[in-house]
Structure 1
Amino acid sequence: MFSLTSMFLPFSFPVVTSLAVAALGYYIVFKSYFLESYRYPSKDIDVPIPKECESDWQEDNFISEPSISSKEDPRKITCYDPATGRILGYKSAASPSEVNLAAKKAYDAQRQWSKTTFAERRQVLRTICEFVIKNQTDLCKVAARDSGKTVLDAMLGEVLTTIAKLRWTIENGEQALKPSRRSTGFLMMYKLAMVLYQPRGVVGAIVSWNYPFHNSIGPVISAIFAGNGIVVKTSENVAFSSSYFLKAIRAALEAHGHSGDLVQFVTGYAETGSALVECPLISHITFIGSAPVGRKIMETASKNLTPVTLELGGKDVAIIMDDADMSQCYSVIMRSVFQNAGQNCIGIERVLVHEKLYDSFVSEMESRIENLRLGSGLEQGNGVDMGAMVMAQSFKFIQSLIKDAVDKGARLLAGGKPYNNPKYPKGHYFMPTLLADVTPDMEITRNEVFGPVMVIMKITSAADAVRVANSSPFGLGSSVFTSEPSTGRQIALALKCGMVNNNDFGVNYLCQSLPFGGVGISGYGRFAGIEGLRSMCVEKSYTEDLFRSVKTKIPPVVDYPIKDISNAIDFTSSINTFAYGSSLVERVKAVFTLAKNA
């Protein structure tokens, strides 16, 4: 007789067992998290938003020319909104002595911070995380005002990524930094071997301007959770917002009784960055920026043999095979190119489309790009898709790359020049651009554009796609779109880059368990994930005896002064044969030799 019970009976035991194990696991995690949250509760912190970041702020004080530097005072930084040209205020570039003082303050605070438990560090990160979630719109407004981006782009690139990093570190950071037990091998079987992850002390970070909130707080999260102090050199191009972000971090530390001096922000030009790299108190440098500046960072860091992690931008590809799901591709590619006005290190700068889909893809992109609306996300509201660019100085370079491509046969189908916003003529806008029929001999395929330019190239096969993709000296991220997983994996394995997403763009960074970084002139070293967190530590090898009664003792035959060199050599040779020899007969012989000499 048929019944539901009889149908599920053969599966009941394994299913029930699996559910029970899962439930137990969730219970343990929930209980430990609940108990820790009870013992180490987060706290509400309040950091008022700058008045200039309110949507109704309308002070009519505009820049006369698109430059942050002052001819009268080389240390004066003019802060202004790239979307409107409105002046936000002025900052002073930090001198070398001020950088050293900041490092000393972080050093003094770190000596106490290094004694904190992981639970205490998580408590601070939870407070920061809850502040970010509760104030995400305000944080986006501040980032948007300083960089010219839209609030939506800030929500995706500034807030979402920061919360992902905070949550991963809170939930997984301790496991990554716990002592790691290692194999001892045959001879040392009576030992316990471990790797200890200890704080470096004070680390430094020199970060770029394209994501002012996330780029400044990201290194802080890893550094302080690992027990370090940190000095962040924020970009002079977004000097206005950094003080607000720093206040939030320090407020979280101080709310739990820790010194806010643990985290220091300095801003300024090349002199400020050089001073940070040269500072003897700095034990590690993370640099996010261009390849030419990265080389200078390496050269300067070599004076003190300071280790560096370099993230130097990319020329990322999206490979679209003939079986790709185009209902997904169109929207993902648009976002991957024009998010943040194209100012993304992992933005897609080359779109490689199979010849069977090429014409229809170009047509669809032309239609979509022509409908994009430019403006100030804070002041022009819902009628804006793409914001301003941070630096108008880059326009000439972008236009030169476009001209070179057109001169060599590419078709310019949209944009290609700056956009004059009738409401904000001082704003830095570049029209969303579409270049088709681009070939690898064009300069735009070898240079990072870092702007709103879609470059489309035709491919004929997977092998052709790999050849074109690997023609660039950059190797940061990439995307492959295909309905066949094996094809996606095959292409991914052949690409010379640090990160690949199959049927997606940039999501590797939302998987914060994954390391972030590239190869070639995209840099080396990794941040994010276990690898990034451990890079904030000194890896110390450690051994101890497993049993008190079993210790390493020097046999008389090799004890100083050595009485018989020949016997000593015979003895040590027998140790090698006994421990690592492949012949059983020879190993047995070695045992007798050892017994005789012992």
Structure 2
Amino acid sequence: MDCLRQHLSQCDSLPIVIAVIAGSAVLYILFFRNRSLPAIRFELKPPAESLPGWRANEILDEPSIFIKDRQAPVTTPDELSDKLQRARSAQATWSLTTFEQRRQVLRTLNDFIISHQREICQVACRDSGKTMIDATLGENGEQALMDDKRDPGFMMMYKRARVVYQPRGVVSALVSWNYPFHNTIGPVISAIFSGNGIVIKASEHVAWSMSYWEQIVKRALNVCGHNPDLVQFVTEVGKLVMKSASSNLTPVTLELGGKDCAIVFADSDMSQCIPVLMRGVIQNASQNCIGIERILVQDAAYDNFVSEMTRRIKAVRLGAILDDQPNQVDCGAMILSNSFGRLESLIADAVSKGARCLAGGHPYIHPLHPKGQYFEPTLLVDVTPDMDITRNETFGPIMVIMKFSDEQDVLNKVHSSPYGLGSSVFSGNQARASRIALKLRVGMTNVNDFGVNYICQSLPFGGGFGRFAGPEGLRALCVEKAFTEDRFSFIKTPIPPIVDYPIQDTEKGFKFTQQIVAFAYSDSWWASIKAGLNLGKLSM
């Protein structure tokens, strides 16, 4: 405990809380109620390359996953078909398991994650260049998938009606590279708890670490007595997912890009707001789908806000957390070096149109890691909606600050971008902050905070096509089946002779159906009684 406390004292603990709650602790919160089947402990040795101080035999001049004879193995079509078949076969048995049996697997997985946080983080750091803080980043689960009773209505009062949530079978998740472990384990949790098998398509940019995540998940299944084939990992490059899925009407949930905004009114508590926004920009080198990419500050507070952010951005330290001194690194390397030219181009466009670059703006040559993929923490101020950087996702450590005057002005500037994933609104007047937040055309919003909707695991996450997490995310992995049955065995649905095929008198049959509608849906008892009497007459 003292060791952990010392480690946390050297680095801000918020991202650790974010990742553990969103991954490990989520398992505990969602699935540990009424515990009867305990977790089963197991050990798994991490790869030697993930240990601090490890050095490669050769430092590449131009690091790339596509280097001949060294790139990650690609799953062939035949191998993919085999993996799918294995997952389908395992899922047929898995779909018959109880929620408690599924919880046991998740408890086992949770215990391993909690006990091996450092090893897991080190693997992620080695593969993606992030810092240890960035890398660390269901009680209602069963209720969300229980049968949902529905009112059958007046006409069908003799029926019981409900919606049944049944697993789809084998689902697939195409996960991004910015949080290798977290982005992998989240879909696995949802898929197996809802009774599905899953094929994880890992990004080729973090294919090395995926083999370790695969071993963890499969071991958890295996030690609990279940077929590890339920979860499969592949490494093809996914292209045009929605277009491909539409050809055979495959259900798809897409969490797309963002250009998330943070609105800062002049009456905001700056002592709370500024550190939160620094985290929103610098965490994981801003390689976050919900990273803060636009900060809009009210004019009365603008100059002081810019001054403080200039001081903070210039003080951010770049480095490799596994090789440098841990207390001397704030921001790690970026995963995609080929994005540097795009970032410089966006910055240059903004400056040419009147923006000021007060810090950074270029790739960084680290003295100990000259081949590392570092980009200087950058501060760009006086940005206006006509600049390309306000409409294009940067996914890099660039703080963009814009000025606004009043509520309508800030709404106009926020909505000048087509993206609508997450958002934040800061104000000392919570009623105003809530009012503005609800007017934003986004999928998620936070008042006086950043990204905490993700920690609230009962909330859906997304702003694109569909949602994940929360009841909505679990139900998206199920087939919603409408189900009716007789409430009483001696009452069945009758077909009156007047409308029984072949219909003898269609005009009379039409009048009969008119009266059925009037009887069931008239807004007064007298009208319903009249329709009932007419039905009796027509039936004679």
TM-score bracket, shorter-length normalisation: over 0.9
**Is the CA contact 1:433–1:452 (under 8 Å) kept in the aligned structure 2?**
yes
Aligned-partner SS, 2:38:
coil
Percent identical pairs in the alignment equals 56
Q: Which residue of 2 aligns with 1:4?
A: none
Residue 92 of structure 1: SS of its match in structure 2?
Answer: coil
The one-letter amino acid paired with 1:540 is K
Q: Residue 545 of structure 1 aligns with which residue? A: 486
2:370 to 421, 425, 438: 425
Per-residue CA shift, 1:386-422, capped at 9, x if unaligned? 0000011100000000000011110000000011011
Give runs of aligned pairs for residues 138-287 of structure 1, distance below 5 A: 138-155=119-136, 157=137, 168=138, 171-268=139-236, 270=237, 273=238
Aligned to 2:498: 557
1:85 maps to what in 2? none
Kindly indicate whether the alpha-carbon contact (under 8 Å) linking 1:231 and 1:263 is maintained by their aligned counterparts in 2.
yes
Using the TM superposition, give the Cα deviation of residue 583 of structure 1 relative to its aligned residue in structure 2, in angstroms: 4.3
**In 2, distance between residues paired with 1:565 and 1:340?**
70
Taking structure 1 as reference, are residues 437 and 106 closer, same or farther at Cα in structure 2, changes over 3 Å only? same
Give the aligned partner of residue 372 of structure 1.
316
Structure-1 residue corresponding to 2:284: 340
Of residues 230, 234, 253 in structure 2, which corresponds to 1:309?
A: 253
Instruction: Give the structure-1-normalised TM-score.
Output: 0.83
Distance 2:430 2:454 in 1: 21
CA–CA distance in structure 2, aligned partners of residues 580 and 453 of structure 1: 59
In the alignment, which residue of structure 2 is the partner of 1:488?
Answer: 433
**Aligned-pair CA distance for 1:33:** 5.7
User: What's the secondary structure of 1:557's corresponding residue?
Assistant: helix
State the 1:37 CA deviation: 2.8
Q: Distance in 2 between matches of 1:322 and 1:215?
A: 36
Whole-angstrom distance in 2 between the partners of 1:43 and 1:345: 34
Which range is displaced more, 386-395 or 486-495? 486-495
Letter paired with 2:321: G
Alignment partner of 1:112 out of 89, 93, 102:
93
Partner secondary structure for residue 481 of structure 2: strand
Measure the CA separation in 1 of the matches of 2:502 and 2:480. Answer: 36
1:494-515 CA-to-partner distances (Å, cap 9, x unmatched) read: 1111000000000000001111
> How big is the shift at 1:118?
0.6
Q: 2: distance between equivalents of 1:425 and 1:503?
A: 39
Counterpart amino acid of 2:301?
A: L
User: Structure 2 CA distance, aligned partners of 1:172 and 1:582?
Assistant: 38
> Could you report, residue by residue, the CA deviation over 1:482-505 in whole angstroms, capped at 9, with x for unpaired residues?
111211121111111100000000
- C-alpha distance in 2, partners of 1:360/1:105? 60
Q: Detail structure 1 runs of 4+ shifted over 6 Å in the superposition.
A: none
Q: Partner residue of 2:296?
A: 352
Q: CA offsets per residue over residues 417-443 of structure 1, 9 Å max, x none?
A: 011011011110000000010000000
User: Any idea what the Cα deviations from partners look like across 1:507-542, whole Å, max 9, x if unmatched?
Assistant: 000001111111xxxx21100110011000011000
Q: Following the alignment from structure 2 to structure 1, what is the Cα–Cα distance between the partners of residues 379 and 511?
A: 75
Between the aligned partners of 2:53 and 2:372, the Cα distance in structure 1 is: 18
Q: Give the letter aligned to residue 95 of structure 1.
A: T
SS at match of 1:539: strand
**Which deviations, in whole Å up to 9, do the C-alpha atoms of 1:539-571 show, x marking residues without a partner?**
100000111112111122222333333332222
d(CA) in 1 for partners of 2:529, 2:140: 48
2:509 corresponding residue in structure 1:
568
User: Which one-letter code corresponds to 1:517 in the other structure?
Assistant: G
Distance 2:191 2:403 in 1: 44
C-alpha distance in 2 between matches for 1:583 and 1:67: 74
Say yes or no: does 1:62 pair with 2:59. yes
Report 1:442-591 matches (<5 A).
Answer: 442-518=387-463, 523-591=464-532
SS in 2 for 1:310: coil
Q: Which consecutive unaligned segments of at least 5 residues does structure 2 have?
A: 1-28
**8 Å CA contact retained: 1:321, 1:462:** no
Corresponding residue SS for 2:501 = coil
Do residues 405 (structure 1) and 346 (structure 2) align?
no
Count of paired positions: 509
Check if 1:329 corresponds to 2:283: no
**Structure 2 residue corresponding to 1:300, chosen from 241, 244, 255:** 244
- For 1:409 and 1:254, the matched residues in 2 are separated by 60
Contact 1:230 1:263 in 2 (8 A): yes
Equivalents in 2 of 1:417, 1:111: separation in Å?
53
Q: What CA distance in whole angstroms lies between the structure 2 residues aligned with 1:472 and 1:100?
A: 41
Separation (CA, whole Å) in 2 of partners of 1:525 and 1:111: 26
Aligned to 2:16: none
Q: Distance between the aligned counterparts of 1:477 and 1:423, measured in 2?
A: 37
Distance 2:32 2:43 in 1: 25
Deviations 1:316-350 (CA, angstroms, capped at 9, x unpaired):
00000011000101100100000000100000000
Counterparts in 2 of 1:67-78, with a 5 A limit?
67-70=64-67, 72=68, 76-77=70-71
SS of residue in 1 equivalent to 2:202: strand
Residue by residue over 1:15-34, the C-alpha shift from the partner in whole angstroms, topping out at 9 and shown as x without a partner, is xxxxxxxxxxxxxxx9x967
**How far apart, CA to CA, are the structure 2 residues paired with 1:196 and 1:118?**
15
The one-letter code of the counterpart of 2:96 is K
User: What do the CA deviations read for 1:297-325 (whole angstroms, capped 9, x no partner)?
Assistant: 11111222211111111000000001100
State the distance in 2 between where 1:319 and 1:529 align: 26
Other structure's SS at 1:231 match: strand
One-letter amino acid matched to 2:151: S
Cα-to-partner distance string for 1:167-214 (whole Å, 9 max, x where unaligned): x3xx22110000101111110111111100001011111111000001
Letter of the 1:353 counterpart: V
Q: Is the 8 A contact 2:32 2:103 kept in 1?
A: no
Distance in 2 (alpha carbons) for counterparts of 1:570 and 1:333: 67
Deviations 1:43-93 (A, max 9, x none): 1121111111111323342123122102x45xx52xxxxxxxxxxxxx211
Task: Decide which structure has greater strand share.
Answer: 1
For residues 588 and 198 of structure 1, what CA distance do their matches in structure 2 show? 41
Q: TM-score, normalised by structure 2?
A: 0.92
Matches within 5 A, 1:93-104: 93-104=74-85
Is the 2:32–2:107 Cα contact (8 Å) retained in structure 1?
no
Contact 1:333 1:348 in 2 (8 A): yes
